Amino acid sequence: MKKYYRNYRRRGNTVFFAVMGAIFAGLGVLALFFMEPAAVWSAVCFVAAAALLTVPMFVVHATYAVEGGRLHVRVLFPKKIPVAGIGAIVISAYDSYRRWKGFQPETFKAGSGAEYNVPSVSFLRECDENELDLCDTRTYTRITYKRQLLFDAALDFDFLRAFADAGYAGKVYVSESIYGQYAPAFDEIFGKNDPRVIVYGRIPKELEKFRKNA
């Protein structure tokens, strides 16, 4: 079973947590000599250091995979989600929190020098298509469908191919910007003009219907 990382950027966050953990460990040592009651303050610092050093293992380096008709997710605890229980997936731009900048879309440069958005995938129990115009990024998708969200992650197209082969029969909603960048990959995996694949834009569905009928 091939595993994929949930988070696109991991090194920076791992280093950040490691440095913070080392700082608290150092404070724990100092507390033994300069704080009263020494044992209590030292224990608090060492517990904080242990938490900061182990968080990346379970959160920053969280993984997902598909095998045997199930989506395997490992964040804090392993979880298996039946593929048949996933009603829709939404593929939009992957964004993540950057310190001092807020949530920013992640991009990468191809060998040709062209810049692409990193795609994300959100697994939902069901999807109200009238809300899709809000979902241009992973974070907005998470907010919009928070009650229906099962899991979300950075998308690897090898995973998407395996997921489609695992018997997924639900809808595949792809944001217009992501489809424009990766159309050949979607066509290869699902075939051209597959009715399951629905490309959506930033225009609300009802307004789009009105414009077509005008």
Domain ranges of the chain: 4-60, 71-213
Contact 76, 58 (CB under 8 A): yes
pLDDT number for residue 87 = 95
User: In angstroms, rounded to a whole number, what is the distance separating the alpha carbons of residues 172 and 64?
Assistant: 18
pLDDT number for residue 213 = 63
Give the strand order in the sheet containing 88-93: 149-154, 119-124, 88-93, 171-175, 197-200
* Backbone phi, psi, residue 98, to 5°: -115, 130
User: In angstroms, rounded to a whole number, what is the distance separating the alpha carbons of residues 156 and 162?
Assistant: 10
pLDDT number for residue 174 = 97
Profile the chain (214 residues) by mean pLDDT over runs of 10 residues: 90 82 87 81 88 83 93 89 95 90 90 90 95 95 96 96 93 96 95 92 72 60
pLDDT number for residue 100 = 81
pTM > 0.75: yes
For the chain, the maximum distance between any two Cα atoms, rounded to a whole number of angstroms, is 78
- Ramachandran area for residue 113 (φ above 0: left; ψ -120 to 50: alpha; else beta): left
Please tell me what DSSP assigns to residue 146: T
Contact 120, 153 (CB under 8 A): yes
